[in-house]
Structure 1
């Protein structure tokens, strides 16, 4: 048996989102019912609602940056209790049996993780995301939001935060490391904050100097415009690690030229179009071109604890639910600093 709750959904690809109701399953043995307080708007919500990454499941309720409070628990729940502040990120289940799930790398589940939205759950039912008033999630796929983090600025950390934290930690950003963040948007601004807090020397590579003041305020040591060809000459062989957050195709060879020998360029932004690469860009200098996908449940908890310890939240613009469609257009124009967050009380 299910319960209907209010939500904002895209009825079809490219269609404006509209208020509707969706079913939420009855709370099971290991489930928690979460009253959603805030939900971030991620660029991937737009990609999926507009079929940018392939055919979607409609009606679609996007949203995988969810912060709220537990209002009911199943009889077998041990991780959370009613009243706990919790978060839900990009996935709500995985096979739990493959090597990656057993290693705590559920995002790389061999059978495929179950996305928080635009996916089919293990029973073949569509999943609906955080642009809604409530969500039911297995306790093992929820995380605790520390008291030191306000729920509104914590919501974007459930995707944007861990998407940057995971590669920065995996590739050992820290003291003595020169790190570049490509793009200063919803992902990139958290990359700057986290890389700085880890102790790395941080450079922002942005199309123009328009956001330079913001970049330095957020913790960057240097800021350069990639539209200036001299940038690539001046910074050649500079970085140990480059993390690209942009979802548009880049001249990968140009960016790889900025790496030191044995440096790595890690992509977390996902362009809809294929990109090309001259392999000599990685052969010379024994460089690595890599990707990283969100983070595990354990990493997400580590990231939240780290952000609370260092006083890091997302820079947000709080909006009403009836402003979602306008927010989508503004995201596409890079007209947000730096993450839209929906007040779920307005849904």
Structure 2
């Protein structure tokens, strides 16, 4: 006996459990409903950008007659004292929360003496900014020797050329007092010396400057992404900083560094760079008992600008998305060279 011949289309494959539910309840589970128009998308946004989330890094160079463009950082300049005052006034009007100041001196030496000179470029800049905007912006000052030393390292050197951690702490303490006297609301030790936060906190407190906060560069990696920044500060570094900045391969170590800085009295802790270290940033944000900052560094900025100049990226969307990603990973504060521009865009969107 032969089997009956079948005709027509083959029988349909059995439905998976998910397909069966969807077929039985069409339209029941549709996440797209909340993406259908701008109002819906705004109403369910999990992270929102605001100008107050942003801090603008600024460079001021001694002896300039006019602002000097930085070729590797499109749109960023080394400021004169006068142009710096204009820039911070614009930043305050844009509603961002603060500025982070870096000085570029004309003369450098082995101990970075310009860093503690009351008339040095950075301390003058701090005073100028406070005179211009008062408390309308948080005035943060980079507390590190690399811009002021002729060898370009973040500390003083031993006879064999290595960085002397504990001798450097003495210079950092002196720097903290000089920056506080100049008017800094917050000092930002970025050298990754062991014990730097505790020494700075102790010397400020002993001087009666308990009002000055400490932003600790707690997890700062030895990254290639600092290249354009070194153009901006005219770095004299020969070699690298891998004996004191963190290994890019290490994730758990960041939590140890952050915990030490918080124990020593840090008011805010920072992860740097931001975009390539979002996993580290998320770890720190999940465990930190103090606010968390992240620095969108010069190399991150330069890559977006270069791609946008070639027409490969929509510049505005790329900038906004990159900063949003840093906030989504857990940063309370983002240092970005686009801070003022982004703040203006955010205000346009609100209108």
- Which category describes the TM-score, using the shorter chain as reference length? under 0.3
Higher-Rg member (1/2): 2
Between Structure 1 and Structure 2, which shows a larger proportion of strand residues? 1
- Higher helix fraction (1 or 2): 2
